[in-house]
Chain A
Amino acid sequence: MEFFTVRNLTMKFGGLVAVNDFDITLKKGEIVGLIGPNGAGKTTVFNMIAGYYAPTSGTIHFQGKLLNGKKANEITRSGVARTFQNIRLFTELTVVENVMIAYHCRLRSSFLGAALRLPLYRREEKQMYEGAMEFLREVELEDLSREQAGSLPYGMQRRLEIARALATGPQLLLLDEPAAGMNPNETQDLLHLILRLREKYRLTVFLIEHDMKFVMQLCERIQVLDYGTTIASGTPEEIQQNERVIEAYLGEG
């Protein structure tokens, strides 16, 4: 059984074909990058996988189960977590609350049990808090756990969003431009963080990124989209040599 396969995924918005016949297979534990010029359809691919758009056609299978037609929250609970290109934290809540909420979908306490604070809920609440702090330690934000999420600087917000996604207990993590807006030092830290998290939580990572140095260092395989169509895929070295990729990025010479 394949870990994650996408076949012939197509998304049309009216007459515009945003993504055309997109195929990809991910093996467990891989880090794979999706690159391409602006407007190539990368985020549309993510939105289809995560259940935000219903694909016009094509299939998405995760661990043998069909994901098409499921709602975003169901897909997350089946083990696919994502971050957003434009960070979407709950800015008015505290840092630790942002991560604690992500545990909610794994809660066993009932609605009444939680409101009446029955023993099971109290135990689970403690687990939520401790688990959330653990993830914050992982992304080095535990000292800021009581700050308002919106008050954090940009790079930290990105890391917090990763911690929040991790708290849902994913096996496949979709990162949409995790290094955007980071300085070179932060980008390097992020690279090591992603590698460390993959080891520790046995994650498979699928990411979109524009920072080529970052992508080439981190990813084991890369797929390139242009105008919704896959124009190349392979190892970072192969991609760097590929004529069509160079053309897509630099234009015809």
Chain B
Amino acid sequence: MDEHRRRNQIFSIIAVACLFLFLLSMHFYADDYQIRILNNIALFIILAVSYNLINGVTGQFSLEPNAFVAIGAYTSALLTLTPAEKQMAFIIEPIIWPLSVIHVPFFVSLIAAGVVTAFFGFLMGFPVFRVRGDYLAIVTLGFGEVVRVVANNTQTITNGPLGLKGLANYTNIWWSWGIAAFTVFYIARLVRSSYGMAMKAVKYDEAAAESIGINAFKHKMLAFTTSAFFEGIGGGLLAHLITTISPTLFTFFLTFNLLIMIVAGGLGSITGSVIAAVVITWGGEALRVVEEPINLGFVTIPGIPGMRMVLFSLILVLVMIFARQGLMGTREFNWNGLFRKIRAWTHRTAKES
């Protein structure tokens, strides 16, 4: 079973080292725009992989990540702003105690964002998992809206529609990629453990899972709360990346983007989510050209803002028609599989020549 374990470990270390070197070189040579894209990619890896845990692995189609990201972003932001900054920002009504005096380092605020969001996820899970399927999707969608509306109206906590401005730009590629790496590592381990297998069992057949003693509700809650934890941390990173947050940032649109990623990557595949997060985030930037005026020589197409979303929607439609399983289905990357493929390929080319 584990004859190649040692080799695989070495390759994993090499892969991580390569990522590190790549980031290091970007740190020194990349311009602000490229750094921004790198941060976005890491952020979407965190969000997509943790969203996939509940939607793909546990098979509970839910639409709440924008709520979780919002809770995480606000928690983290309110904790890193200094009391003086908070006093300045809350001009309509003052911020409530004790939020008005708390001030913690960035890392602590991220952990707090994760914990607070996980707690909200936990509370939300009780009513939400009383229903399944389409109903679950609608209930969670509703929660996403509730959180946004609450953020808009709790002036003394979130500063309402004014949002929070002037957050410190703490999120750099080391924070974002470090946390992305940990998220992928932790969730991959979790999915491979027997808890992950139990979550898959709940996805494939809830009645059968119950028949072998798996508490379906408990495992949905575990997946949901874990997902919330990482979404919350992602929210904290997001807040300190764009440095300004307001309720309008956390609309269903965010959830929709993540949904495209996990569906295109393959529901239930962490590898797929990572690849999709990279390709779609980077692709989204590359596709900016379609929103600019295009001069084909004989005809000039005017720039159409929003054209990228049309293309993304088109991609989703095509994925649903031709590759319902997404890029990876439920498969995962592993070194053994890669080496088998390489061997098979070298074999074939050797024969042909």
Contacts and interface: CB of A to CB of B under 8 A. Distances in A.
Interface of A: 50-52, 71-74, 76-77, 81-84, 88-93, 97, 100-107, 109, 111, 114-117, 121, 124-125, 128, 164-165, 167-168
Interface in B205-243: 205, 207-216, 222
Contacts of A76: 210-213
B197 A73 contact: no
B190 A90 contact: no
B200 interface: yes
B330 interface: yes
B198 interface: yes
Nearest to B329: A92
A5 B198 CA distance: 31
A92 B204 contact: yes
Interface bin, chain B: 20 to 34
Contacts of A168: 212-213
A104 B195 contact: yes
B208 A77 contact: no
Contacts of A92: 204, 330
B84 to A, nearest CB: 38
A114 B194 CA distance: 7
B193 A101 contact: no
Contacts of B197: 93, 97, 100-101, 104
Given A111-B222, A116-B189, A73 B210 contact: yes
B201 interface: yes
B240 to A, nearest CB: 27
A165 B211 contact: yes
A103 B214 CA distance: 9
Contacts of B11: none
Contacts of A121: 193
A165 B222 contact: no
B174 interface: no
Secondary structure dominating the interface of B: helix
Interface in B156-210: 186, 189-190, 193-195, 197-198, 200-201, 204-205, 207-210
Given A92-B204, A93-B200, A101-B197, A72 B190 contact: no
Contacts of B211: 50, 72, 76, 81-84, 88, 165
A164 B212 contact: yes
Contacts of A117: 189, 193
B212 A105 contact: yes
Q: Which 8 A-B pairs rank lowest in CB-CB distance, beginning with the nearest?
A: A105-B213, A72-B210, A76-B213, A114-B193, A88-B208, A115-B190, A102-B212, A77-B213
B215 A114 contact: no
A101 B202 CA distance: 11
Contacts of B198: 101, 104
A52 B207 contact: yes
Nearest to B218: A73
Contacts of A88: 205, 207-208, 211
B150 to A, nearest CB: 29
B194 A101 contact: yes
Given A71-B215, A73-B213, A168-B212, A101 B207 contact: no
A64 B47 CA distance: 49
Contact of B207 (A72, A81, A91, A116): A72
A81 B198 CA distance: 17
Contact of B208 (A90, A97, A105, A109): A90
A168 B193 CA distance: 18
Nearest to B222: A111
B136 to A, nearest CB: 19
Contacts of B213: 73, 76-77, 102, 104-106, 168
B118 to A, nearest CB: 12
Contacts of B200: 90, 93
A79 B209 CA distance: 15
Nearest to B330: A92
Nearest to A117: B189
**Most chain A Cβ neighbours within 10 Å, of B189, B200, B208:** B208
Contacts of B214: 73, 101, 104-105
A187 to B, nearest CB: 23
Contacts of A74: 215
Contacts of A107: 194
A76 B213 CA distance: 5
Nearest to B189: A115
Nearest to A93: B200
A115 B195 CA distance: 8
A128 B210 contact: no
A133 to B, nearest CB: 11
A100 B194 contact: yes
Nearest to A106: B213
Given A76-B213, A104-B213, A117-B193, 17 more contacts: A72-B210, A72-B211, A76-B212, A88-B211, A89-B208, A90-B200, A91-B204, A92-B204, A104-B201, A109-B194, A114-B194, A115-B189, A115-B193, A115-B195, A116-B189, A125-B193, A168-B212
Contacts of B207: 52, 72, 84, 88
A168 B195 CA distance: 15
